[in-house]
Amino acid sequence: MSDQPFGTRLRAAMDARGPLCVGIDPHQHLLDLWGLPDTPEGLATFTFGVVDALADQVAVFKPQSAFFERFGSAGIAVLEQATIRLREAGALVIIDAKRGDIGSTMAGYAAAYLSEKGPLACDALTVSPYLGFGSLQPAIDEARAAGAGLFVLALTSNPEGPQFQSARTTAGPTVAGAVLDGLRDLNADADDLGSFGAVVGATIAPTDENLDIRGPLLAPGIGAQGATAESLTAIFGAAARNVVPSSSREILAAGPSATSLRDAATRTNDAFRTALGY
């Protein structure tokens, strides 16, 4: 179990290194751009190139599990080793797997990603609440026990999202609002930043939902998807200091040169520092 909860460690990491979260998304076109084959060996060269260049500079990394899973066990092995190396360098790792299930199955996912002895033990995991917020309880319990965190899908920027997220529950709030309420309750006893966060797309329109959940707000969509550092304050308002802005392609495309990767990350991080008040 970590000595400090995830939210406390996240705040300290962002204060020390800046708020940038680098997404590690080994798309085939990025492997092509780096001159690498679309194979497990190419995946490893790409991933460890990012890790070696940025692990001691960036606060948070978000590997997208799908791009590792597509190579089967060899790809998962790369994800496992990358997570270990990033954490050893003092960075925090959010595995973007969007797991969501019920009962013992959800407990199994939690054991794999959140348990201190789990094979893919990370600092936080993205999860889906669409089998009911209560279905997340095994992951919530495991995260609390391990000092880890969760990021729960709430207001995603994909065009299909509002069909579910903006729908009204029988109690009155929107589905997204109910998710945010649930997270606010989980973070109620946090001294500063809670460990239970929401995924809120950086490209959504300004919303009437209350984003002050006393926890972190993972905001993908920076750069290639159109959002900018300056646009974050319009969306997140008073909660902007809790935003974890995630950028992937804009930074990863600067490789394979380690110097170019570091320069791209520094430029992006500096823009976020200014926009978010660091």
Asked if 254 contacts 261 with a C-beta cutoff of 8 angstroms, the reply is yes
Q: Which is catalytic among the residues 27, 85, 87, 98?
A: 98
- 274 CB neighbour count, 10 Å cutoff: 11
Q: At 214, is the secondary structure helix, strand, or coil?
A: coil
Residue labelled with tokens 């026990």: 145
Q: Give me the residue label for tokens 């997208």.
A: 64
Residue with tokens 């926009």: 275
Collect contacts of 76-85 with beta carbons under 8 A, ≥24 apart: 76/120, 78/40, 78/43, 78/44, 78/47, 78/48, 79/47, 79/120, 80/119, 80/120, 81/48, 82/24, 82/47, 82/48, 82/51, 83/120, 83/121, 83/122, 85/48, 85/51, 85/55
| Identity of the residue numbered 251 | I
Clarify whether 62 is annotated catalytic.
Answer: no
Separation between Cα atoms, residue 97 and residue 100, nearest integer Å: 9
Residues annotated as catalytic are 98
